[in-house]
Structure formats: C-alpha cells, structure tokens
Amino acid sequence: MGEEFFTEVTGPIPFGGLESRDPLAFKVWQPDRVVLGRPMVDHLRPGVCFWHSFSWAGVDMFGNGTMDRPWLVPGGDEMAQARQRMAAAFEFFTKLGTPYYCFHDRDVAPEGDSFATFRSNLDALVDDALGYQERTGVRLLWGTANLFTHPRYQAGAATNPDPAVFAYAAAQVTHMLEVTQRLGGENYVLWGGREGYDTLLNTDLRREGEQLARFLHLVVEHKHKIGFEGQLLIEPKPMEPTKHQYDYDVQTVYGFLLKHGLEGEYRTNIEANHATLAGHSFHHEVAFAAANGMLGSIDANRGDPQNGWDTDQFPNSVEDLALPMYEILRAGGIAPGGFNFDAKLRRQSTHRTDLFYAHIGGLDTIARALLVAADLVERDDLGARKDRRYAGWDADLGKAILDGHESLESLEAKVAAGEVDPRPVSGGQEALENLVNQRVWSVR
C-alpha cells in the first residue's frame, strides 16, 4: 500500500446503531440488512462523487481553496497529483464501504495542452482505476464528460453557435463513453451545464434545440455501435451556471425526447437540489419520472431553503426523502441507477475527516428514508387510498371514456338524463400527511 491520506480513520466504518455515540459509526446504514426481501445496498446502490470530494479544494467565487487536499495544491506535477487523487479516492471509498463512484473525465485527468494529451492522460488514469476497481471491488455507477468548465464551452457544448465546439464536445463524449464502458460503468450521464442561454438577444432557440437533439442522437448511435449496455441519462437542471438551461426538469426533458424521436433511449438522473431550483419538490420530479418511464438514477443532495442556488449539501432530512424513496420502491427500484452523493462539504469543513462525517450522515439519512418508504409500501395504506380515489376509472363509466366508447355528445346525454351526477369527495390530505408522519416517527 502507498501513502495513506485519511489517517484518522482505519475503516471500514462500523455499524453502531441509533444509540451509538461514535461519530465515525453508522447509525442506520447496514448494507446487508434485508428490506422488502433485498439487502439495503441493492436498493440504494450508493456512490461517492469524485468532483466535489476529491477534485474541489473549497474554491468559491470569492475565495481560494480552503481544504486540506495535498493532491490539489496549485503548481504541483499534475499527473503525479492526479495519481494521488485517485489513490485518496479509492482509500476513501474502501474505508467508507460504499460500492460505487462517479466521475467526469476532467475530475481525474489533467487537461494538458491538447485533446490528444488529455485523452492519453485519461487513458493512463483509467488503467489505474481498473486496477483499483479490481482490488477493492468498488464499481463505476456512471461516467460523464465535463462540457462546461473550459472556456471553449462558455456558450454551450452541443448548443454552441460554433459547430467546432459541438465537434470538440462530441470528441470528449465519444471517448468518455468508451472509458465508461471499459470501466464497466452501469450508466452514462449528460448534464447540460451550459446548454442554455444567458441572454435571448444573442440566442437562436430553434437552432440550439435542433443541435442538442442531433447531439443526443449521435450519443445513442455511438452507444449502440460500441455495444455499451449501460443506461443513458440526462440530468435536468433549470439554471446555473446559465440563466436558463434547456433540460429544465424531468417533464421538459421528456417532451424534448418525444419531439425528437429519442423516447426510450434516455432516462433521467434526478438531483434533489435541481428539483427545488426548478420550483418543484424532489418528490415531484421522482414521481413524474416514475409515472413516465424516466426514472434512471439519483443525485442525492439538498439545497438550503434560504438560498436560491445549488448549495449541494449532503442529504439530512428523512422527511424530505421518504416520499421520493416510496415512489422509487413502487416503481420497482432504482437499479441500474443508484444514489450518487452529488454533494459537497461546506467550505469551512476543511479537515479530511469531515468527508467521512458528511457521507456517514448522508448514508444514514437515505437508509432511514428507505426503511420508512418500505414500511409505507408494506402497509400500502397510501396505495389503497389512491386506488379507492380513482376506482371510478376502473368501473363502467371510466372504462368507457378511456376506451373511446363515449363522445362529448354521449356524455352530455348521460348528464342531462341525470344518469351521471357526481358528488365532491374529500381529498383527505391532512389525514394522509398524518399517516406518513406516523411512519417517519415510528419506524426503526
């Protein structure tokens, strides 16, 4: 073994239970605990993200890096630092005991001064990653290409007014899709960070939509050509860094895919903080995706209700997560997606061990949300009440309408004859909320 980076933690992090006083022990997360007939780990498939945890030094738009990350100190030998970064990452994954990780091409590889150099840097580091994966058993949940940091992407990647930028983005995605396949990645994510606009004064919405659709078709073609078996996922977000992002929310992405003949080729990677940024709840986004065959994977995090931006904090509210988790269970689970912690430490959490506290808290929160959701599914009170609420649609009148056996005129005749005379029924929202809260409070 080479240099050790997280020396305060011997790992693997043990299970301590709800009464444990050890901050470096799990209170709920027990990968092997069986929930609804499956180990917890198979339900949640949690992963650590490379970018926030290992490739970010705490820089924000007002200040320099704050964190104790020797592999990010400016001015070092970039390839040597990249190797340190990967060693630190796999040491962390193993000590934490999570099965998956995710990365962008440039999280791991130095850019160099040309695409060819970048590609060979990446290939060398991917060789290392393969070795680490084999030795540790940690797997790749998804890979993605960073098409938003470099200045060439300032006006977008696929939606750039310059086709040369489209071509460059295509080169990056081609290679990263192949890298993801080589590493056995189970999904490939496209987050359109700058696929949007800052001002309509210089933006042709029609052209940019066509360009984005063309790009998405090319990705599908290449996926099939190389035989990549993972899911393709689009990650919606309404804004930031752009004023407006085209992949606004799950429903917008769904409509775009339908319009461009891409349905069935992509699902969504839903991020909690992106949902709230779009003015939705995370519950809404997951429920919409589940109802329309668009549920792919989860970027687990949370925003701050007082801030309007993407604060990417670690999830810590079981109440917020229990219902999205319920939708996921009812939809048959999240696999081959998972729960990627797309979350970052606060800038003042500078110590390396803070990374463990953050992930321990996040894992315990999603694990407890899973227990609550499983209990709700098992009792099925919510499902039963929903079924009762819509029972009329399974009876004669509802079926006749849906099957096309009724017209406006025939319905008018029924209503005029007094055959149909609906009475308002209570939606019972408060009773339902009480029912959920009771489970949130009592499940252990």
> 291 Cβ partners below 8 Å, 6+ apart?
none
Q: For the segment 193-232, give every residue that binds ligand XUL (CB under 6 A).
A: none
Q: Does 320 bind Co ion (CB under 5 A)?
A: no
Q: Does 186 bind Co ion (CB under 5 A)?
A: no
Q: Which of 54, 56, 118, 191 binds ligand XUL (CB under 6 A)?
A: 191
Give residue for tokens 């990249």. Answer: 82
Residue 51 Cβ, how far from ligand XUL at the closest point, in Å? 6
> 386 Cβ partners below 8 Å, 6+ apart?
none
> 419 Cβ partners below 8 Å, 6+ apart?
none
What sign has the CA pseudo-torsion 58, 63, 66, 72?
positive
Question: How far from chain centre, in Å, is Cα 145?
Answer: 15
> 409 Cβ partners below 8 Å, 6+ apart?
none
Give residue for tokens 């091409």. Answer: 105
Binds 237: which of ligand XUL, Co ion, none (CB < 5-8 Å by kind)? ligand XUL
Would you state the torsion angle of the CA atoms of residues 384, 44, 143, 106, taken in this order, to the nearest 10 degrees?
A: 120
Residue 235 Cβ, how far from ligand XUL at the closest point, in Å? 5
Residue 247 Cβ, how far from Co ion at the closest point, in Å? 12
Q: Which of 247, 249, 342, 364 binds Co ion (CB under 5 A)?
A: 342
Site mask for ligand XUL (CB under 6 A), range 372-411, x = bound: ----------------------------------------
Q: Does 299 bind ligand XUL (CB under 6 A)?
A: yes
Q: Does 105 bind ligand XUL (CB under 6 A)?
A: no
Distance CA 441, CA 444 (A): 9
In the bound state with ligand XUL, the residue whose beta carbon lies nearer, of 11 and 241, is 241
107 is catalytic: yes
Q: Which of 105, 195, 208, 271 binds ligand XUL (CB under 6 A)?
A: 271
Distance CA 52, CA 199 (A): 29
104 is catalytic: yes
In the bound state with ligand XUL, the residue whose beta carbon lies nearer, of 309 and 393, is 309
Alpha carbon distance, N-terminus to C-terminus of the chain = 39
> Can you give the binding site for ligand XUL, defined by CB under 6 A?
51, 104, 144, 189, 191, 235, 237, 271, 299, 310, 342
| Active-site residue list | 104, 107
